[in-house]
Structure 1
Amino acid sequence: MEVTELSRIEYRDTSWRLAKSNEDFKKQQYKMEKDTMSVLNYLKKQKQEKDNMIEKLKQQLVETKEKAQVEKEKLEQKYALQISELEGQFHQKAKEIGMIQTELKTIKQFQKRKIQVEKELDDLKENLRVTEKKHLETLRRMEGRFFEEKHRLEQEAEKKIIILAERAHHEAMVKYGQCSRPPGADYVVSESEEKKEFGNESKLQDQTDDTELQDQTNEIELQDQTDESKLQDQTFITQQVPVSDSEMALSSILKGSQEPNMVRSF
Structure 2
Amino acid sequence: MELTGKTALVTGGGIRVGRALVMALAEAGCNVFIHYGNSQTGALEVQQEVEALGRKAFTYSADLSDAQATQGIIPKAQEVFGQVDILINSASVFPLEDKFFQVDLDLWEWIFAVNLRAPFQLSQAFAQQVAGDRQGKIININDARIPRPRPDHFVYRLTKRGLWDMTEILALELAPNITVNGLALGQILEAPEAPDPEEFMRDYAERRIPLKMTGNPKVVTDAALYLLQQDFLSGTTIRLDGAEYLKF
Instruction: Normalising by structure 1, report the TM-score.
Output: 0.19
Instruction: Normalising by structure 2, report the TM-score.
Output: 0.20
